[in-house]
Structure 1
Amino acid sequence: MPSNPHFYIILNQVAGTGQGAHVWPKIKAQLNQKKIQYDLQLSRYAGHTYQLAYQFAKFKYHDQLLLIIGGDGTLNQALNGLYNAHRGDIPIAYIPCGSGNDFARGVGISHDPIKALEQILAASTPTEIDLGYYYDAIKHDHGYFVNNVGIGFDANVVSTTNHSRNKYLLNRLHLGKLAYVSSLIKVFMHQDAFDVLVHAGPNYHHFKHGFLVTTTNHPYFGGGVPIMPSATVNNHQLDLIVIEKLNPFFFCYLFIMMLCGRHTRYRAVHHFEGPELTVQTRTLEFGQMDGEELGSRTFDVHFSVQSQAFWLNRE
């Protein structure tokens, strides 16, 4: 950590249904106590974090440390803002206060905001951590992700939950996971199997009954579910898991095994790993990136790995 750090802070107050606003006074008190300089910017609407990070990278960066306080979606927007300003070299510090916090779980950042700040302040040099990069040849769009990109079941759950009338109320009551449980049941009954073509290394793999197709940067998705227990953020590889559609009883059993990290041994579960992966679908399927909806569409997505510097002491 520089001897006199100066933070440029982007705060998402509504992250985690208001958790961002709740933790900021504690962070502010610690920064003031340690006489650390900072500039504060509030992310006020969807896409605002992207704009703030882009403007910071283009016009305001003078050896300041970019500190993001928010959820995984906030971090995703900040990273994409930096990279679209061609400043992926700018290190990022992160204090998680979202509803899922899968990235923090995957890289070893404390969920306690004060401890997360201590991890940042204890760092003397940035730590390189893998990010995922995708390019969709059909829509010609691209982006960076910290957690995962999902096609099919998990993306459909994200979309169904986001548009649920009960989501906001349940989040206010700190029962947000119930909204996902309700969506899981509803989506399972309506999500059809679909054709998936996977290109991993020199080989192509065709699945006629794809159901859940997730490319991940670390073990977790959905708020702590270990979708791929062996994945790690420092091996310069991405992991792709394809789960074929099953009958309801075996799917429930497999989901329980997934919670225990023991699902990958079953025949309906297929795992691929590599620095580059490609996924193609022929039918309209829901997609999600770090919990943000990509819409319903066909996909021809090429994945690769990019390193990003984070101010973080992981010891």
Structure 2
Amino acid sequence: MHAHFYAIVNQHAGNYRGYKIWQQIQEYMIQKDVRLSVLLSAYPGAPEDLAYDLASSLPDKESDVVVLAFGGDGTLHEVLNGLIEAKRHFPLPLAYIPAGSGNDFARGAGLKSASHWKQGLLDLLQTTHAQVINIGSYQLQENQPRRFFMNSFGIGFDGSVLKRANQSSYKNLLNHVGLGAISYLIAAVFTIFQTKGFPAKIHGLDLTKSYAKAYLMIVTNHPYFGGGIKVAPDAKLHESNLKFVLFQRHHLGQIIFDMLAIIFGGFQYHMKAVDNTLLTHDFTIEVNSGQTAQVDGKSIDQENYRVHFSKSSYPFWLPETINKKR
């Protein structure tokens, strides 16, 4: 099938560095006679609105339309939620060219970054059908609608790191030279010394666990968070489950060792202070101590959390060369 791509482009991706790359991609696609319609985001939240409007306006039947998100993980998160919110019987497949700072979904899916856009685009154009992959859903409060994530939802350390990095001046500087992921590592170093443990609880079908001093708890769909940190080495996009990983705080030295274990070894599952659980049913996480959370790289600040999670799925236009073991 020769797809008609509707590109939703975040002009601010990578501190405008990404948009320069998009202009090259667009010119190349036009030269190759690829059917392309471009929708530019003009304000925060625009990718979600554009995706919803597009999915709502097109006939709800099988078609050759593929929605192409261009930007970072936050852009992909918004486009995904906009498409799902349209409640189509025939959902529009979602393709992605990563052009943000962290690009964790791209790592989890084995996609080429925007700096290697030509090979990644060729793989995309040769794709003939969508792959249905696992995603997660979450509900922050009982009276709020369900939202969806393709990377992770975390409370504690990872939320604080992402908030610090996103508010920093060095992230913009590093984005200019294509090293935006390093901003998360810098933020992590500063955050370590301010990290305190907090009580947390997780419960679901045949599952009830309480923790006195959690400092990082994350529900993830694939191994990566924070610009390539491998927090859940065995999580896989094509498996119908979610991975819960929790780190408990004992002392500062232990936190530093935990971070080194994640960054350089990926052997955190062997440590007593780490709990990892494969979740195949709905479950709820409770935290009541004013922590910062993050979902797909966007920070959330609440005093109390009672978040209900469940697994879901969505068709992604992933290159057929991608290994389904991911």
92, 98, 103: which is aligned to 1:101?
A: 103
In the TM superposition, what whole-angstrom CA distance separates every residue of 1:99-153 from its partner, at most 9, and x where no partner exists?
1111011012122222221222121111111111001236635311110001011
TM-score of the superposed pair, with normalisation by structure 2:
0.90
Question: How far did 1:228 drift?
Answer: 0.3
User: Is the 2:101–2:227 contact (alpha carbons within 8 Å) kept by the matching residues of 1?
Assistant: yes
In structure 2, relative to structure 1, the CA distance for the partners of 1:182 and 1:255 (3 Å cut) is: same
- Tell me how far 1:170 sits from its aligned partner: 4.0
Q: Say whether residues 1:124 and 2:136 are aligned partners.
A: no
| Partner in structure 2 of residue 8 of structure 1 | 6
Where do residues 45-84 of structure 1 align in structure 2 (5 Å cutoff)? 45-60=43-58, 63=63, 64-84=65-85
Shift of 1:165: 4.1
Aligned-pair identity (%): 32
**Out of 249, 267, 272, which is 2:272 matched to?**
267
Deviations 1:247-302 (A, max 9, x none): 22222222111122111110000001112332111221111100111223311111
RMSD after superposition = 1.9
User: SS at the partner of 1:264?
Assistant: helix
Aligned length: 313
Paired with 1:245 and 1:61, the residues of 2 have a C-alpha distance of 52
Q: Distance in 1 between matches of 2:95 and 2:179?
A: 29
Q: What is the letter of the counterpart of residue 107 of structure 1? A: A
CA distances 1:134-177 after superposition (whole Å, capped 9, x unpaired)? 01236635311110001011101111222234433343354545
Is 1:89 paired with 2:91?
yes
In the superposition, relative to structure 1, how do residues 273 and 283 fare at CA in structure 2: closer, same or farther (>3 Å)?
same
Q: Retained in 2: the 8 A contact 1:238–1:305? A: yes
Of 197, 220, 226 in structure 1, the residue corresponding to residue 224 of structure 2 is 220
1:187-226 CA distances to partner (integer Å, 9 max, x unpaired)? 2222321111012540200000010010000010111111
Counterpart secondary structure, 1:118: helix
Runs (4+) of structure 1 moved beyond 4 Å?
none
Task: After TM superposition, give the deviation of residue 38 of structure 1 in Å.
Answer: 1.1
Stretch of structure 1 that moved more, 212-221 or 151-160? 151-160
Instruction: Please give the alpha-carbon distance, in whole angstroms, between the structure 2 residues aligned to 1:225 and 1:181.
Output: 9
Q: State the SS of the aligned residue for 1:297.
A: coil
- The code of the aligned residue for 1:285 comes to Q
Contact 1:109–1:119 (8 Å) recurs in 2? no
Q: How far, CA to CA, are the matches of 1:248 and 1:139 in structure 2?
A: 38
Residues 1:135 and 2:139 are matched in the alignment: yes
Does structure 2 retain, via aligned residues, the 8 Å contact 1:11–1:20? Answer: no
Match of 2:257 in 1: 253
Q: TM-score, normalised by structure 1?
A: 0.93
2:41 is the counterpart of 1:25: no
Distance 1:245 1:141 in 2: 33
- 1:53-90 alpha-carbon deviations (Å, 9 max, x no partner): 01101114683211111111101000111111113711
Q: Is the 8 A contact 2:14 2:176 kept in 1?
A: no
Tell me, which stretches of 5 or more residues in structure 2 are unaligned? 322-326
How far apart, CA to CA, are the structure 2 residues paired with 1:295 and 1:61? Answer: 38
Q: 1:282 aligns with which of 284, 288, 312?
A: 288
Q: What is the rounded CA distance, in whole Å, between the counterparts of 2:171 and 2:143 in structure 1?
A: 30
For 2:36, which of 35, 38, 41 is the aligned residue?
A: 38
Q: One-letter code of the match for 1:81?
A: G
Give 3-state SS (helix, strand or coil) of 1:305's partner.
strand
Contact 2:77 2:296 in 1 (8 A): yes
Q: Give unpaired runs (5+ residues) of structure 1.
A: none
1:183 aligned partner: 187
Give, in whole Å, the separation in 2 of the partners of 1:74 and 1:314: 23
Report deviation, 1:245: 1.1
Find the partner of 1:157 among 157, 161, 164.
Answer: 161
Contact 1:145 1:289 in 2 (8 A): yes
